[in-house]
Amino acid sequence: MSTATYSVKEHLERVRSGELALAPFIKDTLEKSESIQKKYGPFVTINNSVKAPTRKGALFGLPISVKDCICTKGLQTTAGSKILEGYVPPFNATCVEKIAAAGGMVLGKTTQDEFGFGTFNVNTKYSIPKNPSDTDRSCGGSSGGAGCLAAAADFPHVALAESTGGSITAPAAFTGTVGITPTYGRISRYGLIDYSNSMDKIGMIGRCVYDTALVLSVASGHDPLDSTSSNQPVPDFTGFVGKSVAKLKIGMPKEYFSEGVDKRISKSVRDTADKLEELGASIEETSLPLTKYALPSYYLIAVSEASTNLAKYCGLRYGMQEDTEGNFDEYFSKIRSESFGEEAKRRILMGTYSRMAGFRDAYYLKALRIRTKIIEEFRTAFGKYDALLSPSMPILPPKFSEIAKLTPIQVYGMDVLTIAPNMSGMPTLSVPIGKIDNLPVGVQLIANQFDEGTLMALGSAIEGFNGSHDRT
């Protein structure tokens, strides 16, 4: 049987039983990865030294790709930036270590917007991934390589990704894959190259809900190396796949169906809501009026934290370095000017400005207060609803020629549906619900903190009536 014709679940069963030998499978997978790279460009680095694992856990023999901002021992990790070109971490991120302990194999590092700064994965020195549905179009960002590979891979695979403001949901929606952004703190951030410490979350993109639930179960849990990681118990999330959604109460925030959302996408999402109602779920329109404040407050907080985090890239300790000439300020400025991309420079400048004396109170601290209010608004909503439902992205995957004409403000506005739940630390799941003009469309499900199980139940129900369960 070709590896292209069976699911992750079937693959793991075949490996455990001894029916599938890993050495030839790995060789075949690496050859396919090289071919996919030439056609679509999802990788920064392919791990040609991958070997069959010795530890036989829940992921024994499963290829896992890793977004390039997550540290991998002995494998280049650039975060999509020239300033980290050639950096090879001496350690694994905690989530990578957990996956390896469960028998997962690191296939390679996937491309991304530099430090996560982007919605379309075009802000990078490395490969810009092409959408498998139409190579003239974007895979979304910043985890575009993860979404691209999850869609293009003709072998069992799950992509480890990361989101700050929607960087898992966007590529999942644009590539017709499933993306889980877990609760902030569910997965350790130790070994993650920071964008915004208070909002960064590691998650997964896969071909179906079961695949993401499986890897989420392995990667989650408290880590003493990350003080923000949660002590919440970690259930087996695959147990929620296929669970009944009857009696669940779901809200549809009217602000997420605004004029800026493609009407065809809104209709597809409403049709999905109708089908959930047929399964016994209760659907009603609701309102989250503070949504309109989410975008500006998010960007103020995110760029403020980013400008601080990126200060350590000074050309002295790791990454880009040159012969030191002149004083430190001159050397520091030269390295950063040459090695940071345009969008990274823009966000560093905005973040530094917002933290300056006289502006910190007027902008940054006010944004933090708004964030608290938005979190409170979500918690109130989840006192009434089990989940919220909306489009994943307001548009269909755009052409690269269209992206080139957008202003930075227009690009930032594309995150309007994903910013609020991300900055609130709420878990979200993007599930494909069909196509418009032969391009993928996704529905976004939002749940209360640490209630990823409800998302898995709803996501698998949506897969069921969209004919996707054959991949589990």
Alpha carbons 137 and 40: distance in angstroms, whole number: 11
Which residues fall within 8 angstroms of residue 56, CB to CB, at 6 or more apart?
A: 16, 103
CA 339 from chain center: how many Å? 25
Catalytic pick from 127, 163, 167, 220? 167
CA angle (354 as vertex; 349, 359 as ends), nearest 5: 140
Helix 209-219 and helix 8-17, axial crossing angle in degrees, nearest 10: 60
Catalytic pick from 7, 33, 67, 133? 67
**Is-catalytic flag, 142?**
yes
* 92 burial type by CB count under 10 A (0-12 exposed, 13-18 middle, 19+ buried): buried
Reduced to 3 states, what is the DSSP secondary structure of residue 90?
coil
Catalytic pick from 142, 163, 307, 339? 142
User: Across-strand partners of 440?
Assistant: 435
* 215 burial type by CB count under 10 A (0-12 exposed, 13-18 middle, 19+ buried): buried
**Is-catalytic flag, 7?**
no
Whether cis (ω within 30° of 0) applies to the bond prior to 142 is yes
Alpha carbons 461 and 454: distance in angstroms, whole number: 11
**Is-catalytic flag, 167?**
yes
Active site residues: 67, 142, 167
